[in-house]
Amino acid sequence: MFTFEGTKLQAMSFLEQLGISSHNHGLSTGQHWLGSTGESITSFSPVDGKPIASVFTADKDAYEAVIAKAEEAFLTWRTWPAPKRGEVVRQLSNKLREYKEPLGKLVSWEMGKSLQEGLGEVQEMIDICDFAVGLSRQLYGLTMHSERPGHRMYEQWHPLGIVGIISAFNFPVAVWSWNTALAWVCGDVCIWKPSEKAPLCGIACQKITAEVFRDCEVPEGVSNLVIGGRELGEWLSHDHRIPLVSATGSTRMGKAVGAAVGGRLGRSLLELGGNNAIIISQHADLDISVIGCVFGAVGTAGQRCTSTRRLIIHASVFDQFRDKLVKAYRQLKIGDPLQAGVHVGPLIDQDAVAAYLRAVEQCKKEGGRFVVEPGVLTGEQFSSGCYVKPCIAEVEPGFGIVHQETFAPILYIMKYDTIEEAIAIQNGVPQGLSSAIMTLNLRESELFLSQRGSDCGIANVNIGTSGAEIGGAFGGEKETGGGRESGSDAWKAYMRRQTNTINYTTTLPLAQGIKFDL
Which residues belong to the active site?
Answer: 271, 305
Name the strands in the sheet holding 223-226, side by side, starting at the edge strand that comes first in the sequence: 27-28, 223-226, 189-193, 162-166, 244-248, 267-271
Name the strands in the sheet holding 495-503, side by side, starting at the edge strand that comes first in the sequence: 143-144, 151-159, 495-503
Distance CA 243, CA 263 (A): 12
* Residue 115 neighbours by CB under 8 Å, 6+ apart: 7, 104, 105, 108, 337, 338, 339, 340
Per-residue buried b or exposed e for 219-253, using 16+ beta carbons within 10 Å of the residue's own CB: bbbbbbbbbbeeebbebbbebeebbbbbbbbbbeb
Instruction: Please tell me whether residue 397 adopts helix, strand or coil conformation.
Output: coil
Q: Are 401 and 366 in contact (CB under 8 A)?
A: yes
Distance CA 31, CA 299 (A): 35
Q: What is the DSSP letter of 299?
A: G
Distance CA 140, CA 129 (A): 19
Q: Are 150 and 162 in contact (CB under 8 A)?
A: no
Q: Are 66 and 32 in contact (CB under 8 A)?
A: no
Cα distance between the two ends of the chain: 83
Per-residue buried b or exposed e for 31-67, using 16+ beta carbons within 10 Å of the residue's own CB: eebbebebeebebbbbbbeeebbbbbbbbeebbebbb
For β-strands 151-159 and 162-166, DSSP reports them as: unpaired
**Integer angstrom CA distances of residue 430 from 83, 456, 476, 478, 479:** 41, 11, 11, 6, 6
* Residue 409 neighbours by CB under 8 Å, 6+ apart: 297, 298, 301, 302, 307, 344, 388, 389, 390, 391
Distance CA 347, CA 3 (A): 22
Q: Which amino acid is at 321?
A: F
Backbone angles phi, psi at 78, to 5 degrees: -65, -20
Give the CA dihedral 431, 437, 443, 447, nearest 10 degrees.
10
Instruction: Please tell me whether residue 251 adopts helix, strand or coil conformation.
Output: helix
Distance CA 247, CA 493 (A): 13
